[in-house]
Structure 1
Amino acid sequence: MFERRAIEAGAKSSRLTVSEYLREMALTGKIDSKEKALPKEVLALTGTINHMAANLNQIAKTRNSGEELNALERATLKVQSEDLKGLAVQIKTYLQ
């Protein structure tokens, strides 16, 4: 029971699953403590892009079914387009 808790604690502190932790320990005898988490800026951008993709997908679905876009959908499309341009600038700035 103590061994199990020690393994689970080691895996948790290493941000690995128990399987990943045991596999790494068996193969190398140590855990590489590199940070696995993405920076918060990248996570925020990913969330924003996913939200925008869902909105654009709904607009595309409407348009592809042969229906005309209503005023709200056209306005949303324009805003999303501008937001995408802004995100591109943010990404470019972040990577410099």
Structure 2
Amino acid sequence: MNVFVVSSVPPLQPEDFPEMEILWLLTQAWNTGILLYSLAQYPERWCGLGMSFLRHLGSLQESYQTLMIDLYTEILDRLDKAKKNLIME
């Protein structure tokens, strides 16, 4: 299986891609991150990639931003707690 890892979103101008395509990319990255969170396999990379697409959304940005930031913060907090628990054991 070939796996390609994208570590960041290339610089885009809002008019470079249709908003629905950016939303699709954001959703795919975010959903992959959430799945990997449930499997405990590097979700911060994929959710972070999804977060990086937020700034490229136009009218839909507000709809997604608050929810994603809140959930991303929660994911990172839980990952930090899990890592601290492993270190203490």
- TM-score, length basis structure 1: 0.40
Bigger RCO of structures 1 and 2 (CA < 8 A, at least 6 apart): 2
- TM-score, length basis structure 2: 0.43
Larger Rg, first or second structure (1 or 2): 1
